[in-house]
Amino acid sequence: MPCLVLRLHLILLLSGAVSGNSVQSIEPDMSVTEGNAVTLSCSYSTSYSGVSLQWYRQSPNQAPQYILQRGAKGSTISDHADFALTRFTSETNATATVLIIKDLELADRAVYYCALNETQ
């Protein structure tokens, strides 16, 4: 089976310039096998009381593609792109978020982005 290379990059989306907010990759590069599952992780810290953690991916020569978002720290936001309903899930807590991709396909080869956004 082909080996897929996934890269995780992190971005911080904020509505204002507030110090003390950060997002950090747990494992920025990984190689995985088609058909397996993978968990991408990022940790975050913020002074906001309600946040949304969003996941995007960017395939070679393509625009970034929204995957899903989950609320944390009091936010109950939950949303998936249509293509992500069956194989992509996410879990968040007060300091981290993970993206779980099941049954990896060659089309999943991409750079993955984790983003933090204020919801309140």
29-40: average pLDDT: 81
Going from N- to C-terminal start, the domains of the chain cover 3-118
Q: Which CATH class is domain 3-118?
A: mainly beta
Other C-beta atoms lying within 10 Å of the C-beta of residue 102: 12
Highest mean predicted confidence (pLDDT) among 9-18, 93-102, 108-117: 93-102
Q: What integer is the mean pLDDT of 115-119?
A: 81
Q: Write the pLDDT tens digit of every residue in 35-81.
A: 888 888 888 888 778 888 889 998 889 999 999 999 887 778 889 99
| β-pair type (3-12, 111-118) | parallel
Measured CA to CA, the distance from residue 23 to residue 115 in angstroms comes to 8
Which one has a higher pLDDT value, 99 or 13? 99
Dihedral, CA of residue 91, residue 93, residue 95 and residue 101, to nearest 10: 0
Instruction: Give the torsion sign (CA, 113, 23, 96, 17).
Output: negative
The structure's pTM equals 0.79
Instruction: Indicate the average pLDDT of the chain.
Output: 78
Per-residue H/E/C for 18-75: CCCCEEEECCCEEEEECCCCEEEEEEEECCCCCEEEEEEEECCCCCCEEEEEEEECCC
Q: What is the pLDDT of residue 93?
A: 86
